Amino acid sequence: MTRRWDRRRRLLIGATTIVLLGAAVFVVRAAWPNDRARSVDASEALERYREATADATVADEPSSSSSAPPVDPPAALPPAGVYRYRTSGSESIDALGGTSHTYPAETTLTVTANGCGVRLRWDVLVERREEWRLCLGDDGIELPPLAASYHEFYGTGRLETQTCDGAVLLLPTDERPRPPVEWFCTLGDHEWLPTWQVLERDTLRVEGRPVAVTHVQMTVTDDDHYSSTPSSTGGSTSTACPWR
């Protein structure tokens, strides 16, 4: 009788332990933040572009009594629309055990008319995008001092605004290289000091055709919050779209 009772008690303790362990695993998994990396389909970007331009058309449409001549968009700025980019790469952070987002094979850059020029929005993921503007200045195409980066990890997003002390010339109309220009910026809450340099002319192939471009390089070396950020981008003097 006693032996049977002991066996029942051990079974009960074992079953209870298993249930408690299962519940603990369930609670931890439920409470652990989920992280996602969702691509932005070209059709989504196009739909958003059309909605934005439809709104702008209504808002900006001149009255029928206006005698002002139509204004052509600046020739050197990229035509508005959605551009497709063949993409590779990833981002990662080491928080909460670490996670990474692999970028999709195709991403979109949406160009819309904005103020002195155009606004560009590169949708890498739903959780990752860049926004900046380009304006036509006296000496060529300039990068105005306001831009933004969006990052989202574990379901929590953050839009960091970059504010700088003036516009920087990216694509000179004379097509000549320029010495490095230091830019004083704040990114989020931190000081950020990129250096921009207009490099040599080059030829790249798009759709099988050679296209003349100007290389532009941005470099950041900072031992503090943004410890080392070398980067580069290319641009065409005919369209000012980032190329490679």
Binding footprint of another protein on the chain (CB under 8 A): 42, 46, 49-50, 53, 78-96, 103, 106-107, 111, 122, 124, 151, 153-154, 156, 158, 188-190, 206-207, 211, 225-234, 239, 241-244
- What contacts 206, CB < 8 A, 6 or more positions away? 243
CB of 15 vs another protein, minimal distance in Å = 38
Of the pair 6, 150, the CB lying nearest another protein is at 150
With residue 162 as reference, give the H or E element that holds it: strand 156-164
Determine how many CB atoms are found less than 10 A away from the CB of residue 126.
15
Of the pair 174, 189, the CB lying nearest another protein is at 189
Beta bridge partners of 217: 197, 232
CB of 203 vs another protein, minimal distance in Å = 14
Of the pair 8, 50, the CB lying nearest another protein is at 50
Beta bridge partners of 31: none
Q: Rounded CA gap, 179 and 103, in Å?
A: 33
Pair 96, 136: CB distance under 8 Å: no
CB of 71 vs another protein, minimal distance in Å = 18
Of the pair 14, 180, the CB lying nearest another protein is at 180
Of the pair 15, 93, the CB lying nearest another protein is at 93
Determine how many CB atoms are found less than 10 A away from the CB of residue 141.
27
Determine how many CB atoms are found less than 10 A away from the CB of residue 183.
20
CB of 91 vs another protein, minimal distance in Å = 4
CB of 157 vs another protein, minimal distance in Å = 8
